[in-house]
Chains A and B, each alone.
Chain A
Amino acid sequence: NAGVTQTPKFQVLKTGQSMTLQCAQDMNHEYMSWYRQDPGMGLRLIHYSVGAGITDQGEVPNGYNVSRSTTEDFPLRLLSAAPSQTSVYFCASTRVGPGGYTFGSGTRLTVV
């Protein structure tokens, strides 16, 4: 089992560029989430999904779009990158019921 796979691991963008961070899980988990992590700010929820076709906003959704067309995939789109979006992004998944999220290894994004 690969668990939660995030690509790319590192990315540098110019201000205004768009890109998609990929996230895939092979555990048939219903729930998936995207977090960003900045120094001193902990993990902040961007968007989450409770199943294919269902997404909702988290704490810091502005500037990001998501979709969930399959159970396995949950891509995060930056429409017009800004320096404030420089961060480490984590994707995570979990099943319905007791238990915690399984995290991917993260994408380190720098916007210049």
Chain B
Amino acid sequence: GQQVMQIPQYQHVQEGEDFTTYCNSSTTLSNIQWYKQRPGGHPVFLIQLVKSGEVKKQKRLTFQFGEAKKNSSLHITATQTTDVGTYFCARWDGGSSNTGKLIFGQGTTLQVKP
């Protein structure tokens, strides 16, 4: 299966600035998931997007699924030091929905300068 590509690999921002990470696929995705991993921690599930053009918000985090279901983005408004970590997108492989086989992108590591 095709891996999802994430950009950028690293991002350094000043506290209060916005941040966006992008997840791109050459094939249509049935859904996309986003995870956050704090330094030294384990990945934590944030959200799943299923519908074309879907937009979901969690406080300062906005998640979008592209109209063609080939890309997704995570946008953080007014970053805080608590946002530091690596953000991963992930897709189910080999089927139209939850197949058990979850493939991750390489992640975007966010550093926030206070």
Asked if A48 meets B101 with Cβ closer than 8 Å, knowing A99-B45, A100-B33, the reply is: yes
13 CB-based A-B contacts, threshold 8 Å: A33-B100, A41-B106, A42-B88, A42-B106, A45-B104, A48-B100, A49-B100, A98-B98, A99-B45, A100-B35, A101-B102, A103-B42, A105-B41
| Known A-B contacts A41-B106, A42-B105; A104 and B42 likewise in contact (beta carbons under 8 Å) | yes
Tell me the count of chain B residues lying within 8 A, CB to CB, of chain A: 23
Q: Which of B42, B88, B101 contacts A45 (CB 8 A)?
A: B101
**Any chain B CB within 8 A of the CB of A97?**
yes
Residue of B nearest to A95 (CB): B98
Asked if A106 and B42 sit within 8 Å, CB to CB, the answer is: yes
- Of the listed residues A43, A96, A104, A105, the one surrounded by the most CB atoms of chain B closer than 10 A to its CB is A43
Expressed in whole angstroms, the minimum distance between the Cβ of B22 and any Cβ of chain A is 15
CA distance A79 to B79 in the complex (A): 45
* Set B9, B42, B102: member contacting A33, Cβ < 8 A: B102
Asked whether, in the complex, the Cβ of B44 is within 8 Å of the Cβ of A103, the reply is yes
A43 touches B44 (CB 8 A): no
Question: B45–A100 contact, CB under 8 A?
Answer: yes
Write out the residue numbers on chain A whose beta carbons fall within 8 Å of the beta carbon of B41. Answer: 105
Nearest Cβ on chain A to B33's Cβ, whole angstroms: 5
A92 to B103, CA, bound (A): 13
* A43/B43 in contact, CB under 8 A: yes
Residue of A30, A50, A99, A105 near B48 (CB, 8 A) is A99
Contacts of A44 in B (CB 8 A): 104
**Chain A residue contacts of B106, Cβ below 8 A:** 40-42
Taking a contact as CB atoms closer than 8 A, the residue among B45, B50, B107 that contacts A101 in the complex is B45
Chain B, residue nearest A103 (CB): B42
What separation, in Å, do the CA atoms of A102 and B42 have in the docked complex?
9
